[in-house]
Structure 1
């Protein structure tokens, strides 16, 4: 099973991904946790670009994300799935589409590139306003990254919500209120995943 967490910066994707992994492992399930940008060389370049160490055009930025994803999926995600592990990934195709659109890269172009990658079994979208998102990022006390402006985060939230609403029709996504308590969100995630795991004969 391939599970993805998406959401604007500060929405709590990392927190919930870690909680879910821990809960599944307690049940004796094999879990592979990962994130994008990945830990490979392309992911390293991307993280440095996000920290504004490099100047990239908007389209070049996104093409680098897709190149990193190709390596990530082929070398990590697919092998883990083949081993029968539950893959939990923080950020995936929706991030590329939403963050790309926030910099005026054509959405259709981004969606076409995204369509070539393996589709998650379920995506959890952590919905949060741009204002609250930026507030949480600032509270971290870290230097703001490339996409962390109120204007861009507003577009990111709107595009991701639209993608989540479209995907919800096929029951492949769930929209979560990222301002709920950490415990409430984790309980909602477990409630949604339990029957899915049962149907896939994961015990």
Structure 2
């Protein structure tokens, strides 16, 4: 009996406007074209807690007017949603991976560290909240200057609470700190390049990695 191949957990990260959702969709379409089982499963998830987080980010739901308390509350909610996203028995990440499905996620615990930490104390708190979550098989980090991020965001019909110059500047700095010490498989990509150029780079990286052969991507 042929052993089922474990799926791979691929994460896309970057500040708002960096194109991570676009690239995740392009990779998903590529997998579909190659008849490789795959799902797009972003965070916040589509679960109960994830929907609560989305409402808070859109400022349709307000827990407190205190920014420090708001960040801490969101950090707890993100962690709860992340646990559900990974481990729920309906469409959780690990259930899908066990079925040989590639899981593409936009945002993971890296985003919590980048967006919800405003100082070293908060960073340590959020790190502890997320320290038991497993590392993904591969992370793509899309680096983008804040000025370009804001230009792209301003074209949208609505903006979220974290989409300000001061916040995104701090988030970008946090991302750089995170990936300076992250020991897993990750690649930084220049998000100012055209989407198709970035997509081809992602495909090249994936097909060059050993795990891509195991997933049937060769």
Aligned-residue Cα RMSD (Å) equals: 1.6
Structure 1 position 84, deviation (Å): 1.0
| Corresponding residue for residue 186 of structure 2 | 173
| Corresponding residue for residue 202 of structure 1 | 216
Pair 1:193 & 2:206 matched: yes
CA deviation digits over 1:101-158, x for unaligned, max 9? 1488611111122221121011000101122111111112x22211111111011111
CA contact (8 A) 1:2 1:81 kept: yes
The counterpart of 2:143, out of the listed 121, 127, 137, is: 127
Count of matched residue pairs: 200
Q: What is the TM-score of this pair, normalised by structure 1?
A: 0.92
Residue 35 of structure 1 aligns to a residue whose secondary structure is: coil
Distance 1:50 1:9 in 2: 13
Mark the runs of 5 or more structure 2 residues left unpaired by the alignment: 1-7, 64-69
The counterpart of 1:71, out of the listed 79, 84, 91, is: 84
Distance 1:114 1:79, change over 3 A: same
Pair 1:137 & 2:135 matched: no
Mark the runs of 5 or more structure 1 residues left unpaired by the alignment: none
Distance 1:78 1:17, change over 3 A: same
Distance 1:171 1:54 in 2: 35
Residue 16 of structure 2 aligns to a residue whose secondary structure is: coil
CA contact (8 A) 2:112 2:126 kept: yes
Distance 2:213 2:180 in 1: 24
Pair 1:60 & 2:76 matched: no
Larger-Rg structure: 2
